[in-house]
Amino acid sequence: MTNSKTLGLVCASLLGAFGANAALAADDADIRGQYVDQATAARQGGVGGYVDTHQSNTAQKLEARREHSGTGRYVDQDTAKAMGGVGGYVSQEDYDAYQRQQAGKAANSLGPESITISDAFYFAPGSSTLKKSSKQRISDIVAEIPADSQQTIVLNGFADNTGSNSANKKLSQQRANAVRDELVLNGISEGRIEIRPFGAGHPVAQNSSSEGRAQNRRVELEIS
């Protein structure tokens, strides 16, 4: 009788201990979440092989989507969160949109876009009349300049060495003025244009030949 009673107490004690351990294990599992392998837990933001069950399920869906359609992308946790992803994963579409947004912010922080253009326009002897081809080139240049640009456009006027210094200085001014007027006709503010007449100075070719003089009768346009 005594042995049966003792055996019953021992069994009850063992069952109670087992039940307590099971409860503790359940509580511990609830706290730590779902157990996965170390690498998967690391990708999904878990620690020690455990990861939040909801987060794991979401990450698994995204991972499955990535493997199936190739539209998922793994990035770091903070970047994924900024893009609306979960567990380090974000769709390729969201990733591309985020990159475009960041590029736009970077461009805006730099202010209006800057460009560099260098060109030259040539004139007949003693003339300040623009050629038809020069007018077309000026129109093309204006089309290349960003609408919000405030860059200064410098026009350097030149002449060959035919005639007096004063006449050549005046002619180089008139040639630069002709280019300026064409720029204004194409929508450039006159206040952004700077004119520098050099006369026969700074030749780019020998004035001893007609070909060389033709190269020196010019206006150089510079935007930088």
Domain boundaries, the chain: 33-109, 117-223
The domain 117-223 is classified under which CATH number: 3.30.230.70, 3.40.50.1010, 3.30.1330.60, 1.10.287.110?
3.30.1330.60
Residue 71 is predicted with a pLDDT of: 46
Q: What is the pTM of this model?
A: 0.52
Q: How confident is the model at residue 53 (pLDDT cuts 50, 70, 90)?
A: low
Residue 147 is predicted with a pLDDT of: 83
Residue-wise pLDDT for 18-43, tens only, equals: 555 555 454 554 445 666 666 666 66
| Cα 201 to chain centroid, rounded | 43
Q: What is the dihedral of CA 189, 190, 193, 195, to 10 degrees?
A: 170
Higher pLDDT, 168 or 45: 168
User: Is the pLDDT score of 143 beyond 80?
Assistant: yes
Please give the Cα distance from 10 to 23 (Å, whole number).
20
Q: Is the dihedral of CA 89, 94, 98, 99 positive or negative?
A: positive
Residue-wise pLDDT for 56-111, tens only, equals: 666 665 555 544 444 466 666 677 676 666 666 667 677 667 766 766 555 554 45
Residue-wise pLDDT for 174-195, tens only, equals: 999 999 999 999 999 999 999 9
